[in-house]
Amino acid sequence: MPGLHVLIEIEDDNAGALEAFSEATKSSAEAERQASRILADIGGEGIEFEEGFTPVPMFSAPEAPLPEGFALEMSPGEAKRRPTGQTVVLPAEVSRSRLDDLQSRDGVKVWPNSALTLYGHDAAIDDARSDGGVDCRPFRDPVEIDTIRAMLAVDALWDDGFRGQNIVVGILDEGVSGQHYPVIGGFARPEAGLQPGSAAVTSHGSMCAADVLVAAPAARLYDYPFLGIPRSGGAIQMFQAVLDQWNTDGTPQITNNSYGFVGIPDPAQFPDHEVNNINHPVHRKVREVVTAGVACFFAAGNCGENCPSGNCHPSGIGPGLSIHASNSLEEVITVAAVNSRHERVGYSSQGPGRFEQVKPDVASYTHFLGNYGPGRPAGTAVSAFDSGTSAATPVAAGVAAALLSAIPTSTPLQIKDALISSAIDIGSTVGWDPNHGHGVINAAAALAALERSGALVG
């Protein structure tokens, strides 16, 4: 039944929401059973639950704040404290004839389930050139990892033994190679043979994994692969898997998200699209994850005005247009891209952000030999070097992992504030600017900022 890809959100008070999600991820039959139960009241005709997905509980209703005490209820080890689900979201294909009926029902909301784009740098405008502190085609030569590490000043942390040990970073992407990178868990569906770490080393997720380890070589990774074509429904499921794991043992402490949308649909025609509606379930789920205690790093995007990616729609290119959806939420850490010369890479998306205007937050480094390049694990068949805001973002997430190994009690807000307050200002104006955020991250300065804030070094 070809239909529209949507997310159906239905009121469903469920005190056992976490447990139900966990059980459904282990068995497609259980996922189908849950979906059938949820859809029973509205009828299943014209609705096809998407195979491989799991109904996802939401702990806040649309346009409502998270319930008071949610963070405490999500605390690891608090066996008697579990949040109650308010609604449940099901990815489905819906026939056009059924859509109007669903949208008119009380207690039911139909949301878009839109395709996401991975922010690896694929194709810049060919006639763009490096000019005025902006790096476009032909790009500057990539540098070695050691150059990036020196720019980050990670030695100051490493010399004190803080290399990201005991910290886990979740990679939400198309999958990570466990043969090449330290994948210790993530999302699995055993009966389907889906296991964390099963992706090729040439994958976009493997690049992100390599780039986390630039600043935090002792960190470990969880692999949260989108199922099938990346859509916001897959992102919601992976974020719920993060919540489930966090509730169990307090990991992962960080997620890396190097993906997003590349245009702005007409708000009048598509008011509920992920780019236009801050109450879309994917944004609410991200806020749940951050509120629980997990720092979320998002790429600014590759639709900067100087040399945007070939994926970018004209509606989403340049200042004020290119940072949107979850990448522009106040709660997340949004990362722009510079090269090792502190030149903005011309495809790096520019603020202000669509939801929170002061975006990006910081800039980080891209264009280096990490996963890709001569002598690197993935070689040069896919890319000559690690690139895009996709690469800059996990570098920043790795810095956060090193900081957390030094001060493991740091909250997502403390990490964000430390990175911002210690950033190296490289813009033409003092303070925040739409190209670089508050400046380029520096690990040593960020640790000093955490210490000044009163946090205790472990």
> What does residue 214 show for φ and ψ, rounded to 5 degrees?
-60, -50
Dump pLDDT digits (tens) for 204-221: 999 999 999 999 999 999
Dump pLDDT digits (tens) for 146-187: 999 999 999 999 999 999 999 999 999 999 999 999 999 999
Other CB atoms within 10 A of residue 248 CB: 12
443-452 and 388-406 are packed helices; what angle lies between their axes, rounded to 10 degrees? 40
User: How far is Cα 275 from Cα 16, in angstroms, rounded to an integer?
Assistant: 31
Write down the architecture of domain 4-112 according to CATH: 2-Layer Sandwich (3.30)
User: How far is Cα 325 from Cα 282, in angstroms, rounded to an integer?
Assistant: 9
Other CB atoms within 10 A of residue 50 CB: 21
* Topology, domain 117-452: Rossmann fold (3.40.50)
Structure tokens at 295: 């720092």
User: How far is Cα 444 from Cα 418, in angstroms, rounded to an integer?
Assistant: 11
Q: Residue 325's pLDDT is what?
A: 98
User: How far is Cα 159 from Cα 141, in angstroms, rounded to an integer?
Assistant: 30
DSSP 4: E
Which residue positions in the chain have pLDDT lower than 50? 1, 123-130
Q: Residue 78's pLDDT is what?
A: 66
| 40, HSE (Cβ side, Cα atoms, 13 Å) | 7
Q: Residue 389's pLDDT is what?
A: 98
On whether the CB atoms of residues 311 and 132 are closer than 8 A, the answer is no
> What does residue 233 show for φ and ψ, rounded to 5 degrees?
-65, -40
Q: Residue 34's pLDDT is what?
A: 94
- Locate the domains of the chain by residue range: 4-112, 117-452
Q: Would you say how long the chain is, in residues? A: 458
DSSP 67: P
| 165, HSE (Cβ side, Cα atoms, 13 Å) | 8
pTM for the model stands at 0.96
